[in-house]
Structure 1
Amino acid sequence: MSGAAKDRWADLLPRLLSAVVMVGLGGWAVWVGGIVFDALIALCCGGMIWELMRMLAPQRPAMALQLGVVSGLAVLLASFLPVAWVLPVLAAPVTVGFGQIRENRQHFTGFALWVMLAGFGFIWLRGQPDTGLLGMLWLVSVVVVTDVAGYFAGKIIGGPKFWPRVSPKKTWSGTSAGWLASAAVGAGFAVWLDKGAGMVVLSVLLSMASQAGDVAESALKRKMGVKDSSNLIPGHGGLFDRFDGMLGAAAMFLVVTAFWG
């Protein structure tokens, strides 16, 4: 194998090992549900807010840690509250961060609200008594196959770049492979749950939203001049790097739910 080929696959082993750990932990939490799942989501949201603050205000690490802790606690608290209290509680840490940060306020506000609302969206979806578990399995499956199909198609097929100025590694072949893989997952769940073709269409929309989330985070990192949001996850970077697609899909799911039930 040539040196270039070795470099192309150099991150595969740590990426796979980290993925096994994440799938195992996340799968267990999704299966158990309840406070276990809610606490894991809250922890991830707090970690992503910490990473966001580190990117936007690297000179204030203590504030980043404090805001990350408060944000995680806010997500967990919101899971116990009536609906009318959810948005104020989730928005409170964002408001605090907006008042503390001097530059890039608009970036912080947009991304932080996205993280908080999407995180609570996962908690809400899993908490549905009849459809929560299957709904989470479907959403996670769509995002995972989008990422995996895109990764391998991009590495093997290559070809024209999707948006080289923002995300230089992403190709049209990988992007399209993600759409096709998500459609296949949607078709499988539609047959399993006796749903119509709408589930296939929605799966592709979630796939596109997950890719949009990935591109949005890539654009932010490029603007701030950082390669990864952090180095918490070997082979993947940070929590934001790994779950940006999941956040995008969750946001799309919330929009569809709000408008079409």
Structure 2
Amino acid sequence: MKDELPTRVLSALVGAGLLLLVLWAGTPLILPTLVLVLWLGGLELRDMLARRGVALNLPLFFLGGVLLFLFSLPPLYWHFPQVPWREVALGLFLMAAFSYELLRGADLTRLAFTLLAFLYLPWSLGYVLLLRETPDGALGLWTLSLPIVASFATDIGAYFAGRAWGRRKLAPEISPGKTVEGSFGGIAFSFLALLLYTGLVREVFPFGLLELWLFSLLLSLAAQLGDLAESMLKRYCGVKDSGSFLPGHGGLLDRIDSLLFTFPLTYFLVVLFT
């Protein structure tokens, strides 16, 4: 375990640096990065589900995901605000998925898991494009950073609080290592991290203390739910990690599981708060 620590730290630093570069560059770099994440994440999902004998319609999943990303581009909403672009993409994907099964064997298990994968990965990731331009291209970088700070702080707080005080299991059937005490530690550390972060850029986030507490609570709970959701999927498939994307850190989905729930929630909350 100690031998793996330098590898884990180096991988985390490299990953964080690349993430900051992508977010700073904006849509021209975020869009192709999301497409790459979609492809790699889709391969991990396909390989995991294959262990249970479940097929995933990967070509349709990938093409539908790219379409959803294109339909999540902010200029479409600026110029045609009356069109629910993401819902249009979801509807087209659903019709295409049903049509494929009607023509190729009516495998309802494949249909159900392909739709689940579509909602789990591209549907959630598409909100990155919207957040990066909310409320505009300059301030959007700070908006997009909120779920990232909250998710990372939750993971750190839950880890150390769980090691120090963890006694009661949070979800023993899904993730035996997680504890109720760790969960509360993640919530508390997420609030402190967001309090410090938003205090440094106060003009961007004019939150009151009560609003910030509610914001951080919901994001922390969403981050933990995302972590548990992926743990549930891995347990169903009988794997420890979703893949081996980052040395010492497991698969790509293992790294972004909490963000898949915090990205959409942040967009909803920011729209409501502002």
Q: TM-score range by the shorter chain?
A: 0.7 to 0.9
| CA 137–105 in structure 1, closer or farther in 2 if over 3 Å, else same | same
Does 80-89 or 204-213 show the bigger shift?
80-89
- For residue 176 of structure 1, the aligned residue among 160, 184, 193 is 184
* 1:95 Cα deviation from its structure 2 partner: 5.7
Q: Secondary structure of the residue that 1:82 maps to in structure 2? A: helix
- Alpha-carbon separation, structure 2, partners of 1:116 and 1:223: 21
Q: Is this contact kept in 2: 1:183–1:201, CA < 8 A?
A: no
Q: Which of 122, 128, 140 lines up with 2:148 in the alignment?
A: 140
Name the aligned partner's letter for residue 218 of structure 1. Answer: S
Q: Which amino acid aligns with 2:20?
A: G
* Residue from 212, 230, 245 that aligns with 2:243: 230
Secondary structure of 1:127 counterpart: coil
Paired amino acid for 1:165: E
- TM-score (norm. length: structure 2): 0.79
1:149 Cα deviation after fit = 2.1
| Alpha-carbon distance change, 105 to 166 in structure 1, aligned in 2, over 3 angstroms | farther
Q: Tell me: CA distance 1:48–1:127, structure 2 relative to 1, closer, same or farther (3 Å).
A: same
Offset of 1:142 from its aligned partner?
A: 0.8
CA distance in 2, matches of 1:247, 1:187: 22
**SS in structure 2 of the partner of residue 227 of structure 1:** coil
Correspondence for 1:164: 172
Report whether the alignment pairs 1:109 with 2:115.
Answer: yes
1:53 to 1:259, Cα distance in 2 relative to 1, 3 A: farther
Q: How far is the alpha carbon of 1:21 from its aligned partner? A: 1.5
Unaligned runs of 5+ in 1: 1-6
The equivalent residue for 2:42 is: 49
* CA positional deviation for 1:162: 1.4
Does structure 2 conserve the Cα–Cα contact (< 8 Å) formed by 1:221 and 1:227? yes
CA displacement at 1:62 relative to structure 2: 9.4
What does residue 132 of structure 2 align with? 126
Q: Partners of 1:201 and 1:62 in 2: how far apart?
A: 38
Aligned residues: 253
Structure 1 13/168 Cα, relative in aligned 2: closer, same or farther at 3 Å?
Answer: farther
Q: Using structure 1 for the length normalisation, give the TM-score.
A: 0.82
C-alpha separation in 1, matches of 2:268 and 2:27: 24
CA RMSD of aligned residues (A): 2.8
Instruction: Determine if contact 2:48/2:237 at 8 Å carries over to the other structure.
Output: yes
Separation in structure 2 between the aligned mates of residue 210 and residue 255 of structure 1, nearest angstrom: 15
Distance 1:148 1:254 in 2: 23
Any residues of structure 2 matched to 1:1-261 within 5 Å, and which? 7=1, 11-57=4-50, 64=58, 66-67=59-60, 69-80=62-73, 82-83=76-77, 84=83, 85-90=85-90, 92=92, 96=96, 99=100, 102-103=108-109, 105-128=111-134, 129=136, 130-191=138-199, 192-193=201-202, 194-197=206-209, 198-257=211-270
Q: Distance in 1 between the 2:174 and 2:266 partners?
A: 25
Q: Distance in 2 between matches of 1:107 and 1:41?
A: 21
Q: 1:86 to 1:118 in 2, by over 3 A?
A: same
Q: Given the superposition, is the C-alpha separation of residues 137 and 254 from structure 1 closer, same or farther in structure 2, using an over 3 Å criterion?
A: closer
Alpha-carbon distance between aligned partners in 2 of 1:54 and 1:67, rounded to the nearest angstrom = 16
* Percentage identity across paired residues of the two chains: 29
